[in-house]
Amino acid sequence: MSQQGSQPGSAATVNDRVAGWSEAELGVEGRVLDVVRAPAEVLATPGADVDPASPEAVQLAADLIATMRVSPGCVGLAADQVGVSARMFCVDVAGHPKTRTHHGTFVLCNAEIVEASRNEKAREGCMSVPDLTGDVKRATRVTVRGQLPVTGEEVVVMTDAFEARCLQHEIDHTNGLVFLDRVAGAHAIHPRKTYL
Amino acid sequence: MAGTSQTPRVGRRPVMENVRVTIHAITVLGHDRPGIIADTTGRLAALGLNLEDSSMTRLRGHFAMTLVCAGAASEAEISAGLAPLAADGTLTVTVFELPDEDAAAEPGRPYVLAVHGGDRPGIVSSVTAEIAAVGGNITDLTTRLAGELYVVVAELDLPAAVDVAALGEAIGRVAAELGVEATLRPVEADEL
């Protein structure tokens, strides 16, 4: 994964530790898991805190990345989406046209939003809600705190644009929320017309 | 309706050069095909009718149009003008004159209610009953069935006196009984 710094005009500063992280640090092979679809209780249940250093958590991190990689268009996947009610997710928005600042592929455990600003509405989808998309207002600048798997070291990620939206979407999953819980109004849900 | 700044024209019927202007509600429902909207609105324009609020969408693939229009044409004239639309039997058209009503009550505080979960009978009725019980008015509501997933998104006006936290809890209890998720949030409007 190439490390790309902030784009000109972006206020976010890339966290080099997170940008330099890769799944090689996990040291285990990821398995492709089935993705759970709504309605499913696990998607509506707040996840349990995870021990980032535990073998189960490390394997789960590898599985999330492996599952994300084989899923066309997937830029993030949370543990509850593979049936595990735990506060962990992976993201990788590097190739997305709406991305400005990004940190490549990474996994965060027990993540929370520390700061969020500059709301914008955009249409988003989710592998767990494959037939619908929704207009959701989210911050375009966020500061997120979480832990890396294996080492458990705490990292702070400041980002913007599409990576900010993706992080908020995934952190919602870890809290038992899907985008449907945040749609902007009665005309903000749409049948999906194209599948990636 | 929530989200519009226009005052509903209910109760403020205009008078045009001593011609009695009436308001009609029209529905066109049935098999979807290209051209229904152009055909319908063309016929209304030919009758001198002014298209006001409308909703035109597809519901599980069926075309569904509901509109309110103003003008001097009578119900009989409008019905006759739209009759060719229904000639082949694939569309059903209804026309009726709306009574001159008092203006709608003052709008309350706008909220969005999102409900989703496994499809089962009674989700909409159970949840909306809680809103009605506190005098809340639903101004827009959409439901979508996608496979097993049922989604309801409603926009509502709540009177100032409503205890929103208590309403949220009441909706939460009903949702739990139904095995669905419900979220009640204030509408965030960014004034520019």
Please tell me which residue in A23, A124, A163, A170 is annotated as part of the active site: A170
Q: Please give the mean pLDDT across all residues of chain A.
A: 93
**CB-CB under 8 Å, A185 with B153:** yes
Q: Grade residue A6 by pLDDT with cuts at 50, 70 and 90.
A: very low
Pick from B55, B137, B149 the residue to mutate for testing the A interface (most A CBs within 10 Å).
Answer: B149
Q: What's the pLDDT score for residue A2?
A: 39
pLDDT at residue B15 in the model: 54
Whole-angstrom distance, CA of residue A1 vs CA of residue A68: 15
Give the model's pLDDT for residue B14: 56
Average pLDDT, chain B: 90
Q: How confident is the model at residue A8 (pLDDT cuts 50, 70, 90)?
A: very low
Q: Is B168 exposed, middle or buried (0-12, 13-18, 19+ CB in 10 A)?
A: middle
Mutation target vs B (from A36, A118, A119, A180; most B CBs, 10 A cutoff): A180
- Asked if the model's pLDDT at residue A170 lies above 50, the reply is yes
Look at residue A164 and give its three-state secondary structure. Answer: helix
With contacts defined as CB-CB under 8 Å, which chain B residues touch A188?
153
Average pLDDT, stretch A44-66?
A: 98
Asked if pLDDT for residue A34 goes beyond 70, the answer is yes
pLDDT of residue B101: 74
Res A196: pLDDT: 60
CA dihedral A126→A130→A131→A133, nearest 10 degrees, is 10
pTM for this model (two decimals): 0.88
Looking at the predicted structure, is the pLDDT value of residue B28 above 50?
A: yes
Q: Give the minimum alpha-carbon distance from A7 to chain B in angstroms, rounded to a whole number.
A: 28
pLDDT at B11 (0 to 100): 52
Using one digit for the tens of pLDDT, what is the confidence trace for A15-24? 999 999 999 9
Q: Is the pLDDT of residue B9 over 70?
A: no
What pLDDT was estimated at residue B188?
77
**Residue range B16-38: mean pLDDT, rounded:** 90
> Rounded to a whole number, what is the largest CA-CA distance in chain A?
46
Is residue A29 scored above 80 in pLDDT? yes
A169, pLDDT greater than 90? yes
B151 near A CB under 8 A: yes
* Residue B175 or residue B16, greater confidence: B175
Q: Is A41 a catalytic residue?
A: no
Distance CA A194, CA A48 (A): 34
Instruction: Please return the burial class of A187, using the count of CB atoms within 10 Å of its CB with bins 0-12, 13-18 and 19+.
Output: middle
Of A38, A180, A191, the CB nearest to B114: A180
Amino acid at B184: L
Query: What is the percentage of chain A residues whose pLDDT exceeds 90?
Result: 90
Point out the residue among B114, B148, B154 whose CB comes nearest to the CB of A39.
B148
Q: Is the confidence metric ipTM above 0.90 for this complex?
A: no
pLDDT band at B13 (very low <50, low <70, confident <90, very high): low
Q: Cβ contacts (< 8 Å) between A119 and chain B: which residues?
A: 188, 190
pLDDT at A192 (0 to 100): 87
The average pLDDT across B19-37 equals 94
Q: What number of C-beta contacts closer than 8 Å exist between A and B?
A: 68
At residue B107 the predicted structure's pLDDT band, cuts being 50, 70 and 90, is confident
pLDDT digits (tens, 9 = 90+) for B41-75: 999 999 999 999 999 999 989 999 999 999 999 99
pLDDT at residue A12, rounded to an integer: 73
Mean pLDDT of A115-127: 96
- Which residues 49-108 on chain A approach chain B with CB closer than 8 angstroms? none
Lowest mean pLDDT among A9-13, A63-67, A190-194, B90-94: A9-13
Ordered domains of chain B (ranges, CATH): 22-98 (3.30.70.260), 109-191 (3.30.70.260)
When pLDDT is averaged across residues B126-140 and rounded to a whole number, the result is 96
Q: Which residues contact B179 (CB under 8 A, 6 or more apart)?
A: B117, B118, B120
Q: Tell me the pLDDT band of A104, cut-offs 50, 70 and 90.
A: very high
Show Cβ contacts of residue B6 under 8 Å, excluding neighbours closer than 6 positions. none
**Minimum-distance CB partner of A184 among B112, B116, B150:** B112
B141 neighbourhood in chain A, CB within 8 Å: 186
A191 — contact with chain B (CB < 8 Å)? yes
